[in-house]
């Protein structure tokens, strides 16, 4: 039976890209009973019913599963922040990074609207924060073309999502890489009513270089619900690599003695701002657990 990938889901129909073209499919009833549902990004088996139509009968196991937006098998997150309009908010950037790490995604940081920055040192300062954490930082501009080729080459051969607050230029970047996408840009931030996000269409777009991207808001749920305190440090790579040198197992790198992370912060090896955000997120997790 044909195998393929769900590239779009619209009101109960799954559009499966197979070697023989795109099939419009329903999901077999058994998934509902198992409280399982196919997701965009799933690799599935299709049982043909009539030409171009079929039923999804099996879902291959997923390498990752994002809840908001609902998408499976994403491998990479392009975390987007703009240098201007709005200016970079490092706390928000770190929040997106934690969520990407939590899903074990490869990460690229993309600083957009480079054309609006006069001082190159401004960008260097941000790169100096994220280089030691192991994140590649790309500066882009859809007006001058800066960084667009580099970004496109980073997207080849894997499924990526773009994450970042509204207005930072995610859709503009996708349009620059894939002009036929013709995504709407410049939309003002809307307050979405409850439940609205479920009707929002998630679509996987194929890139000429062979990779795929999904234009989604990306991790629109940015609270740390259901996150264990001890899991947070693992989402900061520069802390995670040092945690085995902390005296105590399960060290939260806060008040504990002989903590390798706190020592690295004091020596300036871990960025103080990143560490401050870590403590702030840790506090948020603790507050949530109280209820």
Q: Would you list which residues are annotated within the binding site for Zn(2+)?
A: 246, 251, 253, 259
Q: Which does 143 bind (CB under 5 to 8 A by kind): ligand GDP, Zn ion, Mg ion, none?
A: ligand GDP
The alpha carbon dihedral of 271, 275, 281, 284 has a sign of: negative
Annotated binding site: 112-115, 164-172, 246, 251, 253, 259
Q: Is 253 in the site for Zn ion (CB under 5 A)?
A: yes
Q: Which does 251 bind (CB under 5 to 8 A by kind): ligand GDP, Zn ion, Mg ion, none?
A: Zn ion
d(CA 97, CA 109): 9
Give me the least distance between CB of 40 and ligand GDP, in Å please: 18
Q: Which CB sits closer to Mg ion, 113 or 170?
A: 170
d(CA 227, CA 225): 5
Give me the least distance between CB of 9 and Zn ion, in Å please: 43
Q: Which does 261 bind (CB under 5 to 8 A by kind): Zn ion, ligand GDP, Mg ion, none?
A: Zn ion
Q: Which CB sits closer to ligand GDP, 141 or 154?
A: 141
Give me the least distance between CB of 169 and ligand GDP, in Å please: 3
**Structure token digits, residue 257:** 């003695």
Annotated binding site for GTP: 112-115, 164-172
Whether 114 and 140 have beta carbons less than 8 Å apart is answered as yes
Which residues contact ligand GDP by CB under 6 A? 112-113, 115-116, 141-143, 164, 166-172, 185-187
Q: Is 105 in the site for Zn ion (CB under 5 A)?
A: no
Query: Where do the DSSP E strands lie in the chain?
Result: 3-10, 13-18, 21-27, 43-50, 53-59, 65-66, 71-72, 76-82, 106-112, 137-139, 159-163, 204-206, 212-214
Note the residue count of the chain: 291
Q: Which CB sits closer to ligand GDP, 42 or 215?
A: 215
Q: Is 270 in the site for Zn ion (CB under 5 A)?
A: no
Indicate which single residue of 40, 72, 232, 251 sits in contact with Zn ion (rule: CB under 5 A): 251
Nearest to 24 by CA among 36, 39, 8, 35: 8
Q: Which CB sits closer to Zn ion, 109 or 259?
A: 259
Whether 271 and 133 have beta carbons less than 8 Å apart is answered as yes
Q: Which does 259 bind (CB under 5 to 8 A by kind): Zn ion, ligand GDP, Mg ion, none?
A: Zn ion
d(CA 277, CA 265): 13
Q: Which CB sits closer to ligand GDP, 152 or 231?
A: 152
Indicate which single residue of 259, 265, 270, 282 sits in contact with Zn ion (rule: CB under 5 A): 259
Give me the least distance between CB of 171 and Mg ion, in Å please: 3
Q: Is 138 left (phi over 0), alpha (psi -120 to 50) or beta?
A: beta
**How far, CA to CA in Å, does 108 sit from each of 80, 127, 155, 160, 221?**
8, 12, 10, 10, 20
Q: Which CB sits closer to ligand GDP, 115 or 229?
A: 115
Whether 39 and 6 have beta carbons less than 8 Å apart is answered as yes
Of 27-35, 151-159, 162-170, 219-227, which segment contacts Mg ion by CB under 5 A?
162-170
Nearest to 237 by CA among 107, 138, 137, 126: 107
Residues that bind Zn ion (CB under 5 A): 246, 251, 253, 259, 261
């Amino acid at each position: 039976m044909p195998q393929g990938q769900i590239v779009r889901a619209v009101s109960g129909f799954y559009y499966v890209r197979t070697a023989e073209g795109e099939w419009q499919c329903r999901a077999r009833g058994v998934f509902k009973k198992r409280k399982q549902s196919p997701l965009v990004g799933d690799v599935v088996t299709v049982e043909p019913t009539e030409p171009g139509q079929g039923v999804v009968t099996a879902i291959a196991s997923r390498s990752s599963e994002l809840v908001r937006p609902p998408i499976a098998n994403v491998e990479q997150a392009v975390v987007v922040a703009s240098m201007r309009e709005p200016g970079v908010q490092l706390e928000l950037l770190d929040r997106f990074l934690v969520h990407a790490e939590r899903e074990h995604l490869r990460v690229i940081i993309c600083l957009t609207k480079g054309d609006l920055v006069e001082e190159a040192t401004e960008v260097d300062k941000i790169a100096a924060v994220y280089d030691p954490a192991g994140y590649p930082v790309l500066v882009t501009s859809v007006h001058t073309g800066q960084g667009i080729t580099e970004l496109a080459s980073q997207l080849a051969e894997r499924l990526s999502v773009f994450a970042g607050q509204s207005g930072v230029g995610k859709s503009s970047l996708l349009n620059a890489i894939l002009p036929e996408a013709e995504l709407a840009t410049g939309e003002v931030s809307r307050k979405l009513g409850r439940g609205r996000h479920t009707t929002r269409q998630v679509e996987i777009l194929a890139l000429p270089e062979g990779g795929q991207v999904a234009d989604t808001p990306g991790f629109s749920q940015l609270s740390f619900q259901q996150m264990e305190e001890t899991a947070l440090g693992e989402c900061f790579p520069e802390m995670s690599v040092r945690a085995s040198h902390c005296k105590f197992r399960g060290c939260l790198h806060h008040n504990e003695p002989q903590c390798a992370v706190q020592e690295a912060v004091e020596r300036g090896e871990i960025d103080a701002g990143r560490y401050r955000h870590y403590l702030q997120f840790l506090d948020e997790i603790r507050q949530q657990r109280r209820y």
